[in-house]
Amino acid sequence: MRTSLTTSAHTIREAAWVLGVDRSEVCRAIRLGKLRTERRHGQTVIPVSALLPLLANAGPGALRD
């Protein structure tokens, strides 16, 4: 697993790790439209640009607000 934001996008699992939340919480944020995704090579990924605002507001419940 990559451990930095040096890539332009992360898988759902990687995004959960970066945000410090469970994968299901990331999936929930995607379903609710709170987290933007893209399809790359047939895989759903989350652009780093979508993660940065969440990291700026890091803390418990960052995806729930």
Q: How does pLDDT run across 28-50, given as a tens digit for each residue?
A: 999 999 999 999 999 999 999 99
Could you give the CA distance from residue 20 to residue 14 in angstroms, rounded to a whole number? 10
Look at residue 65 in the predicted model and tell me its pLDDT.
59
DSSP string covering 24-38: HHHHHHHHTTSS--E
Q: Is the model's pLDDT at 1 over the cut of 60? A: no
CB-count exposure of residue 14 (10 Å: 0-12, 13-18, 19+):
buried
The domain locations on the chain are: 9-56
State the pTM of this model.
0.76
Average pLDDT over every residue of 12-18: 94
Could you give the CA distance from residue 1 to residue 58 in angstroms, rounded to a whole number? 21
60 HSE (CA, 13 A, CB side): 0
